[in-house]
Amino acid sequence: MKTSLSVILFTLTASVLSTTAFADECALSIEANDMMQFSKKSLSAPASCKEISVTLKHNGKLPVTTMGHNWVLSKAADVQAVATDGMSAGANNSYVKPGDSRVYAASKVIGGGEQTTVTFSTAQMKAGEDYRFFCSFPGHFAIMQGSFTLN
């Protein structure tokens, strides 16, 4: 009786721990500031993540209208076109063309002191592909970008 109870407890503990580890690996975070910079040049997650969440925190003080930042994910080859179309789409569309199929994830645009989280499916993504994350606020993508990989 005692043995089976400890086996059950061990199994429960192990499953809780593995669930926690999995969730953490699929939850990423990055910061941005008033100097038009992201805090990281690269982000990655295990290819086993069915969904990934990215939390963007704006550590600056400037308002969203002058130093807004968002977190947008596309293939490296699509960054420029997505950003250009995003600029045309304007602030009301968070600087991303509505329904843009080249975009895997896009957060809302935030100003200094704000934080936002975007959760996206990896169903259309694959390990080894050259993805990039960037800010699509007008004029920012050239500086505010980094690599994103599924491992």
Binding footprint of Cu ion on the chain (CB under 5 A): 69, 135, 137, 140, 144
Q: How far is the CB of 126 from Cu ion (least distance, A)?
A: 27
Give whichever of 37 and 53 is closer to Cu ion, judged by the CB atom: 37
The residue nearest Cu ion at its CB is: 135
Between the alpha carbon of residue 79 and those of residues 17, 31, 84, 114, 146, the distances in Å are: 37, 20, 9, 25, 11
Give whichever of 52 and 60 is closer to Cu ion, judged by the CB atom: 60
Give whichever of 137 and 148 is closer to Cu ion, judged by the CB atom: 137
Q: How far is the CB of 74 from Cu ion (least distance, A)?
A: 15
DSSP characters for 14-81?
A: HHHHHHHHHHHHTEEEEEE-TTS-BS-SEEEE-TT-SEEEEEEEE-S-S-HHHH-B--EEEEGGGHHH
HSE value, Cβ hemisphere, 13 Å, CA-based, for 109: 22
Q: How far is the CB of 107 from Cu ion (least distance, A)?
A: 11
Q: How far is the CB of 138 from Cu ion (least distance, A)?
A: 9
Give whichever of 122 and 145 is closer to Cu ion, judged by the CB atom: 145
d(CA 83, CA 134): 9
